Amino acid sequence: MDGGIRRGTDVLKALAQGADAVLVGKPVCFGLACGGTEGVAKVMNILRTEFELAMILTGRATIASIDRSVIWKPS
């Protein structure tokens, strides 16, 4: 999946909907523009931390265990 990925929760949702890979472009560009290579590293660390927290909060221990059941559907 590519496009619209801004947070770690976006990565979780993309994987839950069946994505095999998730591309992160704009946040990396923002990090590069603001802080060079250190900015990119910080952005990637933030995304990873958010993604790991989202996995914990949804009770998923592995990426393979992420499925559509993590997506809340209003009734």
Write out pLDDT tens, residues 39-66. Answer: 999 999 999 999 999 999 999 999 999 9
> What is the Cα–Cα distance from 2 to 12, expressed in whole angstroms?
13
> What is the Cα–Cα distance from 47 to 19, expressed in whole angstroms?
17
User: Which residue in 31, 27, 74, 35 sits closest to 51, CA to CA?
Assistant: 27
Q: What pTM was computed for the model? A: 0.86
Q: How confident is the model at residue 2 (pLDDT cuts 50, 70, 90)?
A: low
